[in-house]
Structure 1
Amino acid sequence: MTASNQTNILKTYFLLTYVAVLFLVSDSMPVTSIFQDGLLPFGFMLITWLLYGLYYLLPAIAITALVRFCSKNTSAVYITAIIMGGITTLLMYANAKLFSLYGMFFNGFIFNLVSTPGGIESLGGSSASDLGFALITLGFISLQGAMLWLAHRLYVKKAAPQLSFKFLPATALIATVLVHMGFALDSYTTNQLNVVAQAIPFYQTVSARGFFKSLGFTTQREAKIKLKGKLNYPLNPIQFKQPAKPYNIIWLTSESWRADTLNEKIMPNSWEFAKGAARFTRNYSTGNGTRMGVFGMFTAMPGNYWFPFLEERRGAAIIDVLEQQQYQMSFYTSAKFSYPEFDKTIFAHVPTSQLHDNNKGASGWENDRNNVTSLLSFIDNRDKTKPFFTFMFFESPHARYYFPPESVIATPYRDDLNYATLSKTALRNDIVPIKNRYINSVHHLDMQYGRIFDYLKQHQLLDNTIVILVGDHGEEFMEHGFWGHNSTFVDQQVRTPLVIYKPNSAPLVSDQMTSHMDIVPTIMPLLGVSNPSSDYATGYNLLAGEKRNHTYVSDWDKVTYVDDEVKITQPVNAKSFALMTASRGDDTALPHAERKTLLQTKQPAMLQLVQDLSKFFKKKDAKTPAPPR
């Protein structure tokens, strides 16, 4: 076969692959709603969709061209084209599936999930899911093989079009400049294209401030907060005088424990225990995922500090205090301390002998039971002349939602969740039995909490033991269009129960806004710490009557400011593909006119956000974003 013939076959093959890529990308695009918004957003979406479809395919084309240049073996060239085309379409399919279910595209978080030990395990996949993913992969490779066969057959029958892409590079370049400059112009005027850009995978914004400023436009910088510098945490050395009779501390954290499940029906043991404690009914996690949620509760800082803590292997200040006071410590998780990397952040200074994550159970509920047994054994065998601190992370309410038959209180429920076959339509149709599965898993969580409560009562430990009950984050069941967590900052994903039991304190039920950042400032004074909480926290002492009027919730590359009126989400660091968004505090949409007016009134709050995200750096390198528009 001549080089010219091979070229025509590959052109036809990649044209077919391009059409497939466009089809897959379209799954994340709200075509109907954008068309209703007007011709400008719709036209922008159409052109950007066509351009970015080409961008996604460029690596496969380039690698195939490289192999063709280096090898004259036709089979090697065709196999490369099939494999690279298959990888491209498979990734775009997975990207569309990810967006459909969780509202995000591939990002640093997903890469970390795949590359970090324990990450894939944390998903809780089943053998049915693994088989489904294998079949899907095989299907995409087979589809690419069929496309190449079709391109070859069209050539043999002389039905293949004579394709010429002579003007494609220049056309694509001009169109790229126009759509990105158009987006920049819109960001300074009507701001209609923001929603469209967020529906295009990996859309890269440009500002062109200098150019538009020269034309007389009032330009503002992208609202991306940049965090740099070395940690200065705590701001001053922690000073304390250990109480003569120090408290023991039991800190129990559950995966995906949403706020509305702490009730008499689902969690009777916890509900009864909370009657004698301080219960905070409007508590916000510091993240919509485990990493930021647990980090924030132990450091009392916004979740975006995770990255400098990880880089410097810095542990939480409260753990330092407990170690200096010679607390006996033993930590348990039904997941892994290596994912997220808590062994390199909040527990970085804890000896590995005290971190127990050698789970041998077949499922989360079995690991929870086994670890509760180990935790109680640790308390049983401790040195009773010294105080103890123990922490456990429960896994039962993590999807696929684990529970034994005796924990069933909600029916019907799905027997299993096959991630490979899930779709948004399937979720909408099956969300009730899926949520029932979750409710049963939370009921099992309550049974394990009950074992600990019973032990504390039987051994008269409630007279000198602080008990903390809290979720790492919430869990959404399509209330706002998504399932699970880690996708948006709606209340269902970021609000959790918070119960703090302190011996000899009057019971309390508070409807005031609280945060995971308030737990450590509440506990530190009980350890004899005399520093003001501002030295080591961005939180308040809940048992001293201190109140907050706003909070921060983070994910991998964004931070959300939350108060009674509004939620404002901003990107953190330039590597983020995210754009600024805003909604009302109750998660309902903000009309454009109201949005602009309301956000103008929040400029002082945005400045405070920047200060809080730069407070614990030696150099204040966080760059202030422009006031939101």
Structure 2
Amino acid sequence: MAKLPSHGPSVRYGIFLVGVVALGTTSAALVRIRSGFVYPPFFDVFRASFFLQYGFFAGAILATLLALASRFHLPRVIQSLSYFVFHVCLLWILSWGLVHRAFGIELSLGSVMDLFAHPQSIAEVGFTSAEFVSTVIGAIAIAVLLAAISLALVSRVTQKTRGLWSVALLIAFLFIHLPVRAYCLYQIDRNQAAVLAYDDCVACPLRSETLIPHLRNTRFATADLASSESNLRYYEKVKAMPLPQLSRRPNILWLNIESFRADAINPESMPNLERERERFQIRLQNEHWSGGNATQFGVFSMLTGVSGHHFANFQKFAVKAPFLRLLLANGYQLCGGKGSYFSFNQLNALLPEGMKLPEIRRGNPAKEDRLTIDYYLRERQSPSVGPRFDFIPFDATHWPYWFPSEHEVFKPAPLSQNSQHVLRSTTDMQGVRNRYRNACHFIDEQIGRLFDDLQRRHEFDKTIIIVLGDHGEEFQERGQLTHAAVLNDFQGRTLLWMHLPDLPPAKISPAAPTTHLDIVPTLLSALGFTEDILFTQGRSLLEQPKRRDILALCENGFRQPLYRALVTRTYISRWAYRPREYLFSGVQRRDGEQVSGDDWLGEVRSDLNEAAQMYEVLPDVSQPPRKFDGP
């Protein structure tokens, strides 16, 4: 009796491909869009189909790769390498989805490579070093295993089976994909924010309509108003312009607190700062915004008075922060607190030669913060030659919020030892808030040590003192934890206090909203200048108050922001950066309610020129500097 052929290999082959389809679908479905959208008809069907198409796409690609590689009898080494590359890409998309679901961050290869280049930064993004290394090794091992399985399975089935699976998965993909793209085109032509958000926020866009000329209508966008020639003149000018003498040369103490919420200072959490509140003439806590919701954009904007949109070009053209160059040219001793702070995200490219960057022994952020203050106080025991500029960063308030046991004032405050913090629910937020407040309490003690030193030297009243955050921090008020994701009030707003010598002690109340762009021009004014000699994009907070109706901030990204966030009175809209234009990518109400109607668009359109002047359009250096308006 003839033996029937075994179907075991074909079944296993099919199960493997179905597993890839499931993994691809799951990777796409992990993406979590956070905003108050009004959804169009059949949106739930669209969303499920949108995710499913990625699963069938992954399955079809692998099935076709398996069929072609064996049909053309490629060497086993080439086959193995191609399967390995495919599975690495699939795992990358899975990782992209996991990171986006946890943090709202759109992962980039640049940010991952920066973690390899600066291992000390791994803890700052919520991983332990052991987790990061084991994750990378594990991902490589899984990709090798899946490649080996692919190679083993493909050799056990017939060419007919391989071809049938390839065709079947391709047909299934097109059956799902074409209606999804038709729905997307229809809704995107009507600027439907929810569909736009999903279409933009993917690791691998599947916009097949772009293959057919003129099929896709022009997407709703605003023009990039910058002139590349004018901006190039700006870089060349500020890089080499002669720097004038200062009529006043007070010491400057710049205290930058990581993830500093606008509501962080209060008598319980930060008693030392609260006690000195009235000595700071400028106290902005309600409507002061960073230059973005990530460290690199916040620090860049505060030190330059220029939008973080230009961070990459400052690096490209080797432009050092003009304000720091001005101080150095006037005999200031510049010190950056700790060198490791500026190495992350390559912020050290902004610093002029001659700025001291102390090497502080590595440890958890709270230990480093204390050692940084210890170093500063030791340095101050030696007589200074000339005035000082000290930029002191505090990192204890970075997730997961670090503090010594004696500062566990607010309880319970359990430490999340690993990246499982991404699974936290809203009911866990009290412990998170307590850890943050304890970290603030610890930093406040260190600031108290600085203030005590200034008092002993009788230098408090003679020193410019700045207390601020690089950006804010969210505790799931809009569905996100920490920062650097979809920009909102909690991630973008921070705090700015400034003590300015030689000015009356009365509180100065500039018109809200204000931004980090305003810090450098304010310092120029406080140092005796009557015009913006450094050509910033900000305004002096000592000028006649004039309200802004719109802000343009950096959102997501590494050295180049992925989105421009436009903040108006009621809304925050996001615009994806493309060459020469910004594509509309969604809108949210600042109060968290749903967006309905087009009121937001009216607020944006009326002030687009003002937004451009704060973002892509740099000042015209062929014209005289802008004069400061008197108070």
Shared fold (TM-score, shorter chain, > 0.5): yes
Note if 1:339 corresponds to 2:340: no
Q: Is the 8 A contact 1:242 1:325 kept in 2?
A: yes
Q: Map residues 284-363 of structure 1 onto 2, 5 A cutoff.
A: 284-333=289-338, 335-345=340-350, 347=351, 349-351=352-354, 354-356=356-358, 358-363=359-364
CA shift for structure 1 position 368? 0.8
Look up the equivalent residue of 2:538 and give its one-letter code.
G
Structure-2 separation of matches of 1:440 and 1:360: 23
Structure-2 separation of matches of 1:317 and 1:241: 14
Look up the equivalent residue of 1:527 and give its one-letter code.
L
1:564 to 560, 563, 569: 569
Look up the equivalent residue of 1:455 and give its one-letter code.
D
1:453 to 439, 451, 454: 451
Q: Compared with structure 1, are the counterparts of its residues 68 and 441 closer, same or farther at alpha carbon in structure 2 (3 Å cutoff)? A: farther
Q: Is the 8 A contact 2:536 2:619 kept in 1?
A: no
Structure-1 separation of matches of 2:434 and 2:494: 18
Look up the equivalent residue of 1:443 and give its one-letter code.
H
**1:225-253 CA distances to partner (integer Å, 9 max, x unpaired)?**
4865553337785764422x521111110
Specify the alignment match of 1:483 in structure 2.
481
Question: SS where residue 273 of structure 2 aligns?
Answer: helix
Return 5+ residue gaps in structure 2 as ranges: 556-560, 623-631
Note if 1:275 corresponds to 2:278: yes
Return 5+ residue gaps in structure 1 as ranges: 621-629
Q: Is the 8 A contact 1:240 1:530 kept in 2?
A: no
Q: Is the 8 A contact 1:286 1:296 kept in 2?
A: yes
Structure-2 separation of matches of 1:338 and 1:30: 32
**1:75-126 CA distances to partner (integer Å, 9 max, x unpaired)?**
9957974x55653453333222212111133236634544543553543632
Specify the alignment match of 1:13 in structure 2.
16
Q: Is the 8 A contact 2:320 2:349 kept in 1?
A: yes
Structure-2 separation of matches of 1:617 and 1:187: 34
Specify the alignment match of 1:498 in structure 2.
496
Q: Compared with structure 1, are the counterparts of its residues 590 and 143 closer, same or farther at alpha carbon in structure 2 (3 Å cutoff)? A: farther
Specify the alignment match of 2:626 in structure 1.
none
Specify the alignment match of 1:606 in structure 2.
608
CA shift for structure 1 position 563? 2.8
Note if 1:265 corresponds to 2:268: yes
Q: Compared with structure 1, are the counterparts of its residues 332 and 55 closer, same or farther at alpha carbon in structure 2 (3 Å cutoff)? A: farther
Look up the equivalent residue of 2:272 and give its one-letter code.
N
Look up the equivalent residue of 1:536 and give its one-letter code.
F
**1:196-226 CA distances to partner (integer Å, 9 max, x unpaired)?**
425654436668998479xxx8x55534748
CA shift for structure 1 position 517? 0.9
Look up the equivalent residue of 1:125 and give its one-letter code.
F
Specify the alignment match of 2:558 in structure 1.
none
Structure-1 separation of matches of 2:390 and 2:458: 17
Q: Is the 8 A contact 2:250 2:387 kept in 1?
A: yes
Question: SS where residue 165 of structure 1 aligns?
Answer: helix
- Larger deviation, residues 580-589 vs 97-106: 580-589
**1:521-567 CA distances to partner (integer Å, 9 max, x unpaired)?**
1101233334336x521212113343442322212211212232322
Specify the alignment match of 2:88 in structure 1.
87
Specify the alignment match of 1:623 in structure 2.
none
Note if 1:540 corresponds to 2:539: yes
Q: Compared with structure 1, are the counterparts of its residues 252 and 544 closer, same or farther at alpha carbon in structure 2 (3 Å cutoff)? A: same
Specify the alignment match of 1:437 in structure 2.
435
Q: Is the 8 A contact 1:293 1:472 kept in 2?
A: yes
Q: Is the 8 A contact 2:537 2:619 kept in 1?
A: no
Look up the equivalent residue of 1:606 and give its one-letter code.
L
Question: SS where residue 564 of structure 1 aligns?
Answer: coil
Q: Is the 8 A contact 1:396 1:445 kept in 2?
A: yes
Look up the equivalent residue of 2:195 and give its one-letter code.
L
CA shift for structure 1 position 54? 4.0
Q: Map residues 146-295 of structure 1 onto 2, 5 A cutoff.
A: 163-166=164-167, 169=170, 172=173, 176=177, 179-180=180-181, 182-189=183-190, 191=192, 193-198=195-200, 200-203=202-205, 211=214, 221-223=220-222, 225=224, 228=228, 230-233=231-234, 237=241, 240-243=244-247, 245-277=248-280, 278-282=282-286, 283-295=288-300
Structure-2 separation of matches of 1:574 and 1:45: 29
Structure-1 separation of matches of 2:179 and 2:130: 46
Q: Compared with structure 1, are the counterparts of its residues 576 and 9 closer, same or farther at alpha carbon in structure 2 (3 Å cutoff)? A: farther
Q: Compared with structure 1, are the counterparts of its residues 80 and 597 closer, same or farther at alpha carbon in structure 2 (3 Å cutoff)? A: closer
Specify the alignment match of 2:628 in structure 1.
none
Question: SS where residue 54 of structure 2 aligns?
Answer: helix
- Larger deviation, residues 181-190 vs 281-290: 181-190
Specify the alignment match of 1:597 in structure 2.
599
- Larger deviation, residues 266-275 vs 449-458: 266-275
Q: Compared with structure 1, are the counterparts of its residues 474 and 388 closer, same or farther at alpha carbon in structure 2 (3 Å cutoff)? A: same
Q: Compared with structure 1, are the counterparts of its residues 327 and 135 closer, same or farther at alpha carbon in structure 2 (3 Å cutoff)? A: closer
Question: SS where residue 580 of structure 1 aligns?
Answer: strand
Question: SS where residue 568 of structure 1 aligns?
Answer: strand
Q: Compared with structure 1, are the counterparts of its residues 240 and 209 closer, same or farther at alpha carbon in structure 2 (3 Å cutoff)? A: farther
Structure-2 separation of matches of 1:272 and 1:499: 13
Look up the equivalent residue of 2:612 and give its one-letter code.
V
Look up the equivalent residue of 1:473 and give its one-letter code.
H
Structure-1 separation of matches of 2:314 and 2:427: 42
Structure-1 separation of matches of 2:609 and 2:451: 44
Structure-2 separation of matches of 1:517 and 1:190: 31
Structure-2 separation of matches of 1:256 and 1:578: 29
Q: Compared with structure 1, are the counterparts of its residues 166 and 568 closer, same or farther at alpha carbon in structure 2 (3 Å cutoff)? A: closer
RMSD: 4.1
Q: Is the 8 A contact 1:476 1:483 kept in 2?
A: yes
TM-score (norm 2): 0.82
Specify the alignment match of 1:397 in structure 2.
397
Look up the equivalent residue of 2:429 and give its one-letter code.
I
**1:588-611 CA distances to partner (integer Å, 9 max, x unpaired)?**
3321x2xx1331343131233234
CA shift for structure 1 position 60? 5.7
Look up the equivalent residue of 1:365 and give its one-letter code.
A
**1:123-172 CA distances to partner (integer Å, 9 max, x unpaired)?**
3632564487379648956985997699799979xxx9994433654775
Look up the equivalent residue of 1:395 and give its one-letter code.
D
Structure-2 separation of matches of 1:56 and 1:547: 54
Look up the equivalent residue of 2:532 and give its one-letter code.
P
Q: Is the 8 A contact 2:260 2:494 kept in 1?
A: yes
Look up the equivalent residue of 1:392 and give its one-letter code.
I
Identity of counterpart residues, as a percentage?
20
Question: SS where residue 268 of structure 2 aligns?
Answer: coil
Specify the alignment match of 1:584 in structure 2.
589
**1:36-70 CA distances to partner (integer Å, 9 max, x unpaired)?**
94654334334432333344567766776787578
Look up the equivalent residue of 1:383 and give its one-letter code.
S
Question: SS where residue 451 of structure 2 aligns?
Answer: helix
